Every structure is written in structure tokens, then in C-alpha cells.
Amino acid sequence: MNKSTQKILVIDDDPDFLAAVTPILKSALYEVVTATNPREAKEKIFSEKPNLILLDIMMDSLFDGFSLCHAIKTSKEFRDYKDTPIIFVSAVKEIAGTRFQFKGDEEGMAGPDDYIDKPVKPDDLLARIAKLIK
Amino acid sequence: MAEKKPTVLVIDDEEAMRDSCSLILARGGYAPVTAENGEVGLEKIRELKPEIALIDLKMPGISGFEVLEKTKDIDPQLIPIVITGYATVDSAVEAMKKGAYDFLPKPFAPEELRLIISRALERRRLAMEAETLRREKKLMEDNFITMVTHQLRSPLVAIQQYFEVILAGLAGQVDKTQQEMILRARERLDNLLGLINDWLDLARIDRGQIVDKLKPVALDNLLKKQVEFLAPLAKEYEVSLELKPAKGPVLGDEQMLDQAFSNIITNAIKYNKPKGSVTISMHHENSFIVVKVEDTGIGIAREHLPFIFDQFYRVSRREDQKIKGTGLGLSIAKKIVEAHNGSIEVESEPGQGSTFSVRLPRSEDETK
């Protein structure tokens, strides 16, 4: 399959992270779209129909990555996109202390397909993406 | 606004006493309830959550002193006042020591009773207000720690992300000098991030966030995972890691204990010698489990030993300049262990190695 047809939506409130991660994805010939807030993220999911979503866990306080991920995987609104693979991106320590523990498991929330620590290593990121959107 | 009348429980075996107190209290605008002995009294405290309890010290069955002690477990907010017919200094002092707010010698005038009750209520109101304030302050501080940490980390992580991209050659060719400089800059950032993480851990422990939720923790499992997790690091330092068979569970916070042991074992690996080893073993000691982390490393000189658990204390020797650290790892481990009512000790022989012994209270739940 031609990789260039694959589109990745990166959702993060930090424009610098978006700017830094874009060249990584482009180097593997993915098309990149970005969103810096949940509203924009929602619009882009509907308009761009991404093949995969990179989602920052600690977005703004009102609507974090956990909620958005849960919404995409389970809500009616996103039912056409519920199979879109989601990779959580986060600075680990913010979530659980020493090591990543997926918070959602305990709270009955739908989890991501994979997660990766910030800063992401380009090779690692690309390998994880490739596994999910062959 | 119709406020609820404060409930005052009178625990006394003399009916006349209960009746007269009830009358005085009702007239004073309180809602009196009575109990004819200690057992019934404790039952009513549980059920009705009175604001104040008047407790007769001398009763058949469980004594007023016992009632006094047990009220603390049932409702720490309750203000107990003792009434006594044999108002000796001794019994008054003992009652106060056991947590009575005040004491009232029999016989007393209605005014005396009402005065003491109104003072007690005022004091209860202040205590509850203070408790609310304390809770709000703690919440604010907890959020503050999280927010500050996020704000401090985010820009650093963004910088690191740029470095990753540049180093991967995705922002154009990078020559050798540039690459070296960026690698160094990245290392400095790593250290700074490590420092922030450690600081956050310390702040959390200081906030006492762990002591509230102690559960039985299976140490064997925790240490097994720890050994697996640290295997790559051990390989990098050419150190072998061995975990001896484990003992029963301890009482603790799993995540925090994980952190403490991670810090100790990581040190044992880093301050080791190539072809050295780290051995983790356990034994029972009374109501404690002692975990020993033994390394064959460079050891710690006697003059440094008293300080190695101090914050930011790092033993600086030319030969371990290359070992990175924030100087907080062991002090974090110590704080965590102490917050578990445990202790941590070190023995060391320079050139031979160090042994860290962590004592943690055993969990009652030995079935695990």
C-alpha cells in the first residue's frame, strides 16, 4: 500500500511539540494534520478522516486526552471513526509517578492502542505507527 | 433560618442525673439524648453523631474512661466532657489526658453546665473550621504541585523533542560538532527533568499523600518487576542482578515502594564495578520484613556515610563523575520508607561494596 495516502492527526496543546513531531512523520511520508485543542481535534477528525491519531494525554484541564480517546472509541458521535488507532503521547511522570499505568483501566475508560513517552524517539514513534496502520 | 439544635448526649447511670441534665439542656436550646450506660452511650454516638457527650466517669459496666477512649475512634469530632462525683484532681487530669475537653464536678448548677456546653460547641466549631481550611489548603497545594510541574516540564520536553528531530537529521544535515553540542545540551536537559521529577516525588511525600492508602503489597512481585525493568541498565553497566526468594507482603503504597526500591537498586547498579553484582534478599525481623540490597561496588567512605540520605548530597569522586544523578534518589527512598513507618540503613566498605537494608512493616495479611 502506498504510505503517502496515510494521514496522521496530531493533537497537542503545545505548538512546539507539533512543529517538532511533524518532520518525523513527514520523513516517513505520512500526511500530517494537527490540532491544538479538543474542538479543533473533533473538526479535523470529521473533515480529515485520519488513519491514526497521536494524542497528548495532558491537554487542557477541561478536556484531557483520556476523555477524547474514550469518546472516539465509544461514543455515537464518533462511531465512524471508532476503529482509528490512537497512540497516547505523554511525559510519563505526569500520569502515575514512576511508571506509566493506564489510568483509564481503573475508571472503566476505553484505552489507546499504544502509548509513547515524550520526547518521542523518531524511530520508535515510526515503528509504533507502522504496526498500527500497516 | 432554622438551624439544627446541637445534640448533647448524657451518659450516666443515675436516672435523676440524666433527667435533670436533659431538662437543663432542653431549656438551653439543645437537643438532649441520654444513655444509661457506656455501651448504650457508644451505640448512640455511632448512631446519632452528637456534637457533645457528657460522660459520667463512674458507671457500672464499661467505665467513663473507656467510653472516653473509644469515642475518639468512633467520632474524632465529638467533644467529650466528663462528669464526676468524685472530683479529685487525679481523675480530672486523667480524663483530660484521655481527651476530655473539660470536666464538671457533681453537683453543678444549671448555669455551669450550659456555660461549659456553649464553650465546647464554640471549640468544636473552630476545630471543624480549621479542619476545612486545612483540607482546602492541602487540595490547593496538591494542585499547585501538579500544575507547577507540568509548567516546568512542558517547555523542557518541547526542547528535547526539537533535539530529537535535529539529531535524527530530519532538520537538515548535522555536522559532528553540532551533534556533540546538542547531545550535551540534551543531557543537561535530562538531568533537569530528572530533578523536577524527583522534586515532585519529594513534594508528594511531604504532603503525606501516601500514608492514607496503605495496602498489602507483595514485595516479591514488585521486586521481580523491578529486576526485569532494570535489566537493561544492569547490562549496560555489566552488573549481574539477582533476586533471592521472597517473603510475605508488607503494608505499603505499591507505587511509592516501587520508586524507593528503584532508586536504591539503580544506585547499586550505577555505583558498581564491571562484572560486579547486585543481590536482593529478604528476611523477617519481628513484625518487619527487611530487604537487603547488596552490591559489590565502589562503596562509600566512612566520612560520607552520615550524609548520603541528605537531599542534594552527592559523593563526588573523580572516578564517578560520569555517573549522573540529582542527589535526591536516596533521600526520596528514605522519605518513602519512613512514611511507611519503616527505616533504611546502610553499611559500606570502600572498595568492597554497600548494603542497603530497608525495614518495612509486615502486612497482617499473611495469606498472600
| CATH number assigned to the domain comprising residue A67 | 3.40.50.2300
Q: Is A6 left (phi over 0), alpha (psi -120 to 50) or beta?
A: beta
pLDDT digits (tens, 9 = 90+) for B243-295: 887 777 888 888 788 888 988 998 899 888 888 889 998 888 888 889 999 88
Q: How far apart are CA B344 and CA B5, in angstroms?
A: 52
Instruction: Report the range of poorest mean pLDDT among A13-17, B107-111, B208-212.
Output: B208-212
CA distance B158 to B47: 57
What's the number of domains chain A is made of? Answer: 1
Mention every residue, 6+ apart, whose C-beta is less than 8 A from residue A18: A10, A12, A34, A36
Is the Cβ of B258 closer than 8 Å to some Cβ of chain A?
A: yes
Residues in chain A within 8 Å Cβ distance of B258: 98-99
Q: Do A122 and B170 touch (CB under 8 A)?
A: yes
CB contact under 8 A, B163 and A119: yes
CA–CA distance, B338 with B289 (Å, rounded to integer): 14
Domain housing A114 = 3-132
> What percent of chain B is predicted at pLDDT more than 90?
23
Task: Select the residue from B146, B147, B153, B157 to test the A interface by mutation, using most A Cβ atoms within 10 A.
Answer: B157
Q: What is the mean pLDDT of chain B?
A: 84
pLDDT beyond 70 at A107: no
The count of C-alpha atoms lying within 13 angstroms of the C-alpha of B290, restricted to the half-sphere facing its C-beta, is 13
Pick from B150, B158, B204: CB nearest A17:
B158
Q: Give the strand pairing for B102-105 and B79-84.
A: parallel
CB contact under 8 A, A118 and B258: no
CA distances from B57 to B85, B86, B101, B226 (A): 8, 9, 14, 55
Contact B164 A120 (CB under 8 A): yes
Is the minimum CB–CB distance between B22 and chain A shorter than 8 Å? no
Beta carbons of A44 and A50 less than 8 angstroms apart: yes
Here the cell at position B75 is 467520632
> CA-CA distance, B124 to B136, in Å (whole number)?
18
Choose from B87-96, B178-187, B314-323 the range with maximum mean pLDDT: B178-187
Calpha distance B176→B183 (Å, rounded): 10
Is any Cβ of chain A less than 8 angstroms from the Cβ of B160?
yes
B164 vs A10, A92, B203, B281, CA distance in Å? 17, 17, 30, 40
Q: Please write the tens of the pLDDT for every residue from B79-98.
A: 999 887 765 777 878 888 88
User: Among A6-20, B174-188, B307-321, whose mean pLDDT is lowest?
Assistant: B307-321
The band of B7, judged by pLDDT with boundaries at 50, 70 and 90, is very high
The reply to whether the predicted model has a pTM over 0.90 is no
> What confidence tens digit (pLDDT) does each residue in A39-62 have?
899 999 999 999 999 998 765 554
Q: Which residue has the cell 458521535?
A: A77
Residue B54 has what pLDDT?
A: 92
Q: In terms of Cα–Cα distance, which of B16, B70, B17 is closest to B44?
A: B70
Calculate how close chain B gets to A46, using CA atoms only, in Å: 28
Element housing A73 (H / E):
helix A65-74
Best residue of B142, B159, B166, B170 to probe chain A, by most A CBs closer than 10 Å: B170
What confidence tier does B11 reach under pLDDT thresholds 50, 70, 90?
A: very high
Chain A nearest C-alpha distance from B43 (Å) = 37
Rounded mean pLDDT, B360-364: 83
Examine the pLDDT at B138 and tell me if it is beyond 80: no
Place of cell 472503566: A108
**Would you state the pLDDT for residue A105?**
47
* A107: exposed, middle or buried (Cβ count in 10 Å: 0-12, 13-18, 19+): exposed
